[in-house]
Each structure stands twice: as structure tokens, then as C-alpha cells.
Amino acid sequence: MFNYLLRRIVSGIIVLGIVSAIVFGIFFILPADPARLSCGKTCSEEQIVKIRHALELDQTLPIQYGRYLKGIFVGRTYLKGTTAELHCSAPCLGYSFQTDQPVTQLLKDRLPATASIAFGASILWLLLGLSSGIISALRRGTWVDKFSQGVALGAASLQIYFVGLVLQFIFVNKLAWLPAPGYSSPLHYPVDWAKQMALPWITLAFLLSAIYSRLTRAGMIEIMGEDYVRTARAKGLNNRTINLKHVLRGAITPIVTVFGLDLGGLLGGAVITEYVFNIPGLGKLSTDAVANLDLPVITGTVIFSAFFIIVANVLVDLLYAALDPKVRIQ
Amino acid sequence: MSNFLEVKNLSVSFPTEDGVVRAVDNLSFTLEKGKTLGIVGESGSGKSVTSLAILGLHKGSSAEVSGQILIDGQDINAKPETDVRLLRGKLMSMIFQDALAALHPYYTVGNQIAEAYLVHNKVSKSVAKKRAIEMLDRVGIPNPQKRINDFPHQFSGGMRQRAMIAMALSCNPSLLIADEPTTALDVTVQAQIIDLLRDLQKEFNTAIILITHDLGVVAETADDILLMYAGKEIEYGTVRDVLQKPQHPYGWGLLTSIPRLTGDPNKSLAAIPGTPPSLISVPSGCAFHPRCSYVSRVGTACSATIPELLPVTSGAHHLVRCHLDATAREEIFKNQVGPNL
């Protein structure tokens, strides 16, 4: 088990290395000059040369990438202008061209908002998706099933920017039940935080729970035909125990897998949700960075979200081992 | 001795899109405590459907069950599911053919046995766990204190079937239905499991219904045999009668198709021609007539009318459903079947 975990972590680090190399490489191919971008509009050729040297853009690609990696693990020192030196401690992902802030700091500042969206919404969509899926499976073929699966199908085919804006129009603009979505610190203003997060949570949960509902329903219906469920009935167990202990337990593994990957993906930035609701999270940071060609921020956010997806994958594998005793032994 | 189990005119049918499947048609039999009834037939002959009906497991499905299933005087078919549920596992229980599929892959063997005990006994979990250890020990699993923490896939095939038996017997049921309990096992393990069932039967005076297509297993263990074909009983009697003086052409076919050590190794085995009928469109008259070699002796009756289940000789407990008359059957058995046995 420990060896397995170690292997997974090492392979995760290798994948991160590959992702960072690709992202780093792509920006070199782009027809944008980082020195010019970092300098502003009124900028002489002389200044650009200086900046190019300060940013070490006059070095070869492998050297630049090597220094970038070194920055992540041990930190690095930039020449600011010609004289002053600027130390960027590990993990250093460079400085934003736009704001001159360290990318690591930007990521740290934006993570809580994204994490708030991801965790809040995930609890909601799990509750909604699992319960409606279970009910559908148990009442298969009845109007309850048809209704809930119809809603699920509809929800799955809608888009966040549509549902999000409609909900915002109704609950914020018309009824004024909720404040405009945004982000407040849950530690200092928990009530505001919950109220501002309510719409992003509901929107995301509405769309994602549809997938979980269908997954739960299909899984449970499949497991209901298993021999071991017949055994459970033959023992004289009541329906509640049969359905929740035996059937759901048999069907839960794929749901956990998808959940882990969804959550990991969201933690890297709920791009559309944050954009629609104007929430200062990682997704908003990356879309803004793309709009401004803020290369260090783009690279940073891509590596950061890749990191979350890889971590989620490793966690899902571990959960698999916890859930399936056959995997545990191997 | 009074009959502990009495099945009267049991019919089970399933409505499907292609028509109604009559899986079991007007079946009647009885079983005393401490005795074993072997139900023998091909796949699709209605054996398993019958056993599920006795456990009341068709309730809540689309199956239509009619007739009476009296266990200890209580009609399982007439009772609502909520009442029958309380009897399952306690009054009657069942072991299944494929123990690997029939045990939950994600729970330990001990957990599953303890669960069966907990449903019907108001005891603490630790008492149920002790019971699980005791039962595993009783069915011959070495080191049960440790093995209760194993998952089904960590057990061998024979051990899994032993664990199933331990689970089924944990509440001391009076009736045990064993649905092909040895089919998926090695021959040596088969013998062990059969011995185990016999020992346990002696110890607890359990009535056992043994469902199988293996005549050898039935010959060793059963007191009575019920031969089924296309959902109907075609021959019913004591093991002695049915195996030594078989009366139905289907039974003759089954018996002559068994390979024998003493036979000529170059002679090909006798097989029953044709295939089992579809239960949606059962052949008219005697369902076996398209595969029967003796139709010419009877004539049109075989395909026109369903033969009655009648005593072989008046007053006998050996029943057969065949249009051949007693003398014809005796003559065929003596001249054509007997020499091949």
C-alpha cells in the first residue's frame, strides 16, 4: 500500500513537470513579447532590452525553464531594473506583469473563494444527486422517477451562464432575497459569506447533481439485480437496510470516482461560475490573466489546477482501495 | 409424521413483452422435517423459481404466484411481504449456487453472517459476532476468529459455500433450500459440502430442498425426488423408486446419459435429442413429446392432451405424468432402458 502511494505521488510529480514544461513552452511560441507586455505602452527599445535582461528572457528556453523550476522548489532572485535585486522565495512562480505581485501570493489570495464554491457546492450536489438518484431507482418507472430524471436531463443540458444569470435576476434583482454574489471571509462574516455564496452553490449543484442523480440511479438499478442483493433479501433484511447497506454500497464506487475528479477540477478554478458571478477566485484570476496575456499568472494557475487534479486522482485511488477490499489486497 | 412443508398447486408466471412465461405450473409436493427432497430438472425447468417462491421472494416483483405454500401451517403465498420478511432466514433460508456472487463483495464474511443473525435476534453486535465465529467453526472453517474478518474473495470456492451455509443456518431455520449448492465446486469439495449438509441436517433436524441437475448428488442425499420439466412435475417419488424404477422417458434419458466406468469407452453417450422448450410457447400436450422417442407407441394423445400426474400403480406414492400405460413403460424399461444403465 505504501509503495503504491509512493508510486502514485512520484508519477503525479512527473505529470506536473510535463504540464509545466508544456505550458512554459507554449508561451514561447506565442507571438507575444513578455518584455513588452511587462513594460507598458510607452516604452523605449532600451527599456525593453533592460527588462528582457532582468526577466532573463535573453537566456535559452531550457535555462529559463530550469530557473523557473528552481524557483518553485528553492526560490530565485530577480534583478529589478538594473541595480536592485528582488528575492522571490519558494514556491516562486514569478511575478504578475500586470500587478507586479508574486503569483504565489495571488494564488493564495484567490484560493479561499474558489474552495468555498467547490466545497459548498459539492456537499449540495452530492445530497441532491444521491437522494434523487436513490428515490428514482427505488421508484423506477413511476412518475416520481420520470419527473426527477426529466429534471436531471434538463439540468445536465443547461449551462451555468444561463442558469446562473436567471437565478441572479430572480433572487437578487427581482426578489432581493440575496445580496449580489461575491466573496467575504467565512471566518469574519460567515452569514454574508453564506448569502453571497448561495447562488453559485445552487447553480453549480443544480447542474452537477443531475449527473450524480443519473449515475446513482443507474448504479443502483444494476446492483439490485446482483445475486448478493437477493441473498440480503433471503436473510430477511428490511428494505431500508437492503437498499442503503447492500445496494448503495455496491453502487457507490463510480460515484466517488467522479466526485473526486469533479472536486479536484473545481478547486483549480470554477472558471465559468466565478466569471458569471464575478467572484474573485482562481478561475477569475486565470480568465483575467488570459485576457491580459499575463504569462506568469497563466502558467501559475495552470500548474496549480493541474496540481489539484493530480492530487484528486491520487485521493480517488486511495479511496478506491478503502472502498473495494479487492483493490486493497492487490 | 406431519408434513412440515406443503406446496399445493403452485403456479408462477411472469408477464413479459413476448408473452406470459409459465415458469412453474400447478406444482404440488410435501416435505417432512429432517428429510431431503431433491428437485431435479434442466435449466429453465422451474426449479429455482419454485425455491424463490417458497421464500416469498417473488413478492414485489411482476411475477404472479398462485396456490398455497404452507410452511409449518403458515401460507407464505397468502401472507403480506412484511410478515414473510420476518420468517425469511429464521423459518426458511436458502443457499445459492454461486457463493462468490451471492456474498456481498464489500463486507466481511463475519459481518454478513452476523447481519443474518442480528435480523432475527435482539442481541448485541458482539454476541452476533460470536455467533458468526461459532457458525464458521461449525461448518468447518479453520481459524474462524481470524477468518471472519476476511472478504468473500479471500475464501476458496468451497469455503465460500461453507460460509453461505453458515449464514443460512445461523438462525436455525427449519427449512433450508439449497439451490445447486455444489455446481460451481470441484468434485472433492462437492462431496465435502454434501457431507456437511447431511451432518447439519441430522444435528438440527432441518428439512432440505436440494435443487440440482446432478442425479448423483440426489441419489446420495435425498429421500424423495421431484423431476421437473417445463415447469411441471413429471415424476415424483422416493429416491429408490425414481432412480431404480424410473417411469418417465425424460428420467430414462437422464439416467442413460450418465457416463459409467463399467461401460464401453468407445460408445458415445446417449443424449436426449432436442433442447428444453421455451416457456413462452410450451409444446402442446405433453411438453416433452417433441423430444420423446416413444410418441409412436401412444399416438396423437402426446401432442394433444397434457397427461395427468398419476400413481404408477394404484395407491403408490410414486407419481408419473406420461401417456404410456404401465405395461408399455415396464416393457420399455426392461428391454431398452435397463440394459443401458
Tens of pLDDT, residues A7-21: 888 888 898 889 888
% of chain B surpassing 90 pLDDT: 50
Confidence of residue B38 (pLDDT cuts 50, 70, 90): very high
- Asked if pLDDT for residue A125 goes beyond 90, the answer is yes
A324 neighbourhood in chain B, CB within 8 Å: 105-106
Render pLDDT for A27-72 as a digit per residue (tens, 0 to 9). Answer: 777 777 777 777 767 777 888 887 777 777 777 888 888 888 888 8
Confidence of residue B251 (pLDDT cuts 50, 70, 90): confident
Distance of CA A116 to CAs A128, A282, B251, Å? Answer: 18, 11, 72
Interchain CB contact of A227 with B (< 8 Å): yes
CA pseudo-torsion sign A68, A72, A77, A78: positive
Instruction: Note whether B38 and B222 are within 8 A (CB).
Output: yes
% of chain A surpassing 90 pLDDT: 30
Nearest Cα neighbor of A172 from A142, A197, A140 is A197
How many CB pairs below 8 Å do chains A and B form together?
Answer: 68
> Dihedral of the CA atoms A165, A170, A175, A177 (nearest 10)?
-60
% of chain B surpassing 70 pLDDT: 99
- Asked if pLDDT for residue B333 goes beyond 60, the answer is yes
Contact B104 A230 (CB under 8 A): no
Q: Which residues contact A299 (CB under 8 A, 6 or more apart)?
A: A20, A23, A24, A27, A68, A93, A94, A103
Contact A228 B105 (CB under 8 A): yes
Alpha carbon distance A114, A116 (integer Å): 5
Confidence of residue A328 (pLDDT cuts 50, 70, 90): low
Question: Who has greater pLDDT, A121 or A63?
Answer: A121
Nearest Cα neighbor of B196 from B179, B221, B219 is B221
Confidence of residue B49 (pLDDT cuts 50, 70, 90): very high
- Asked if pLDDT for residue B120 goes beyond 60, the answer is yes
- Kind of pairing between the strands at B64-71 and B74-75: antiparallel
Q: Tell me how far apart the terminal alpha carbons of chain B are, to the nearest angstrom.
A: 35
Alpha carbon distance A66, A21 (integer Å): 10
Contact A227 B88 (CB under 8 A): no
pLDDT for the residue numbered A81: 55
Question: Who has greater pLDDT, B116 or B299?
Answer: B116
pLDDT for the residue numbered B336: 78
Count the neighbouring beta carbons within 10 Å of the beta carbon of residue B254. 19
What does the H/E/C string look like for A173-185?
HHCCCCCCCCCCC
Residue keyed to cell 462431496: B191
Q: Which 236-255 residues of chain A touch chain B by CB within 8 A?
A: 236-238, 246, 249-250
Render pLDDT for A170-194 as a digit per residue (tens, 0 to 9). Answer: 998 888 888 888 888 888 888 888 8
Count the neighbouring beta carbons within 10 Å of the beta carbon of residue A142. 11
Of the residues A138, A229, A235, the best mutation for testing chain B's interface (the one with the most B CB atoms within 10 Å of its CB) is A235
pLDDT for the residue numbered A242: 94
Nearest by CB to residue B89, choosing from A227, A236, A250, is: A236
Of the residues B54, B98, B103, B104, the best mutation for testing chain A's interface (the one with the most A CB atoms within 10 Å of its CB) is B104
Q: Which residues contact A317 (CB under 8 A, 6 or more apart)?
A: A4, A8
| Range of lowest pLDDT (B222-236, B252-266, B279-293) | B252-266
- Asked if pLDDT for residue A136 goes beyond 90, the answer is yes
| Range of lowest pLDDT (A105-119, B8-22, B75-89, B288-302) | B288-302
B119 neighbourhood in chain A, CB within 8 Å: 235-237
B154 to chain A: nearest residue by CA? A326
**How buried is residue A283: exposed, middle or buried, by Cβ count under 10 Å (0-12/13-18/19+)?**
buried
Count the neighbouring beta carbons within 10 Å of the beta carbon of residue B301. 15
- Kind of pairing between the strands at B232-238 and B224-229: antiparallel
Instruction: Note whether B30 and B9 are within 8 A (CB).
Output: no
Render pLDDT for A267-323 as a digit per residue (tens, 0 to 9). Answer: 887 888 888 888 899 999 999 998 888 888 988 999 899 999 888 988 888 888 888
Interchain CB contact of B75 with A (< 8 Å): no
Contact A235 B167 (CB under 8 A): yes
Residue keyed to cell 420520470: A146
- Asked if pLDDT for residue A83 goes beyond 70, the answer is no
% of chain A surpassing 70 pLDDT: 96
Alpha carbon distance A51, A57 (integer Å): 8
Q: Which residues contact A33 (CB under 8 A, 6 or more apart)?
A: A48
Interchain CB contact of B106 with A (< 8 Å): yes
Q: Convert A201-225 to b/e letters by CB count within 10 Å (16 or more is b).
A: bbbbbbbbbbbbbbbbbebbbebbe
Alpha carbon distance B201, B204 (integer Å): 5
Could you tell me the three cell numbers for B13? 408466471
Of the residues A223, A226, A230, A231, the best mutation for testing chain B's interface (the one with the most B CB atoms within 10 Å of its CB) is A231
Q: What is the mean pLDDT of residues B255-262?
A: 78
pLDDT for the residue numbered B113: 95
pLDDT for the residue numbered A330: 53
Instruction: Note whether A207 and A151 are within 8 A (CB).
Output: no
How many angstroms separate the CA of residue B46 from the nearest CA in chain A?
A: 17
pLDDT for the residue numbered A155: 84
pLDDT for the residue numbered B326: 84
Contact A235 B106 (CB under 8 A): no
**How buried is residue A8: exposed, middle or buried, by Cβ count under 10 Å (0-12/13-18/19+)?**
middle
Alpha carbon distance B226, B39 (integer Å): 5
A326 neighbourhood in chain B, CB within 8 Å: 105, 151, 153
Instruction: Note whether B69 and B54 are within 8 A (CB).
Output: yes
**How buried is residue B198: exposed, middle or buried, by Cβ count under 10 Å (0-12/13-18/19+)?**
middle
A228 neighbourhood in chain B, CB within 8 Å: 101-105
Alpha carbon distance B15, B27 (integer Å): 19
Residue keyed to cell 425424460: B250
pLDDT for the residue numbered B206: 93
B232: part of which helix (H) or strand (E)? Answer: strand B232-238
- 3-state secondary structure (DSSP) of residue A159: coil
Question: ∠ CA B235-B332-B40 to the nearest 5 degrees?
Answer: 25
Q: What is the mean pLDDT of residues B262-279?
A: 78
How many angstroms separate the CA of residue B219 from the nearest CA in chain A?
A: 27
How many angstroms separate the CA of residue A234 from the nearest CA in chain B?
A: 6
- Asked if pLDDT for residue A86 goes beyond 80, the answer is no
Alpha carbon distance A75, A67 (integer Å): 9
Interchain CB contact of B116 with A (< 8 Å): yes
B120 neighbourhood in chain A, CB within 8 Å: 236
Render pLDDT for A203-253 as a digit per residue (tens, 0 to 9). Answer: 999 888 999 999 999 999 999 999 999 999 999 999 999 999 999 999 998
User: Residue A322 CA to chain centroid, in angstroms?
Assistant: 23
Mean pLDDT of the residues in chain A: 86
| Range of lowest pLDDT (B9-13, B14-18, B315-319) | B315-319
pLDDT for the residue numbered A326: 80
Count the neighbouring beta carbons within 10 Å of the beta carbon of residue B238. 15
Q: What is the mean pLDDT of residues B202-209?
A: 92
Nearest Cα neighbor of B209 from B49, B42, B9 is B49
How many angstroms separate the CA of residue A149 from the nearest CA in chain B?
A: 22
Residue keyed to cell 433460508: B93
Mean pLDDT of the residues in chain B: 89
Alpha carbon distance B79, B76 (integer Å): 5
Count the neighbouring beta carbons within 10 Å of the beta carbon of residue A10. 10
Interchain CB contact of B57 with A (< 8 Å): yes
Alpha carbon distance B165, B318 (integer Å): 31
- 3-state secondary structure (DSSP) of residue B75: strand
Ranges of beta strands (E only) in chain A are 76-79, 85-88
Q: What is the DSSP string of B171-225?
A: T--SEEEEESTTTTS-HHHHHHHHHHHHHHHHHHT-EEEEEES-HHHHHHH-SEE
Confidence of residue A135 (pLDDT cuts 50, 70, 90): very high
Distance of CA B100 to CAs A31, A244, B106, B199, Å? Answer: 62, 21, 12, 23
pLDDT for the residue numbered A324: 84
Interchain CB contact of B109 with A (< 8 Å): no
Could you tell me the three cell numbers for B61? 416483483
Distance of CA B39 to CAs B13, B48, B89, Å? Answer: 19, 9, 21
Interchain CB contact of B104 with A (< 8 Å): yes
Contact A235 B87 (CB under 8 A): no
Nearest Cα neighbor of A117 from A229, A237, A277, A256 is A277
ipTM: 0.87
pLDDT for the residue numbered A80: 61
Of the residues A228, A252, A255, the best mutation for testing chain B's interface (the one with the most B CB atoms within 10 Å of its CB) is A228
A232 neighbourhood in chain B, CB within 8 Å: 104
- Asked if pLDDT for residue B5 goes beyond 90, the answer is yes
Confidence of residue B34 (pLDDT cuts 50, 70, 90): very high
Confidence of residue B211 (pLDDT cuts 50, 70, 90): very high
A233 neighbourhood in chain B, CB within 8 Å: 57, 88
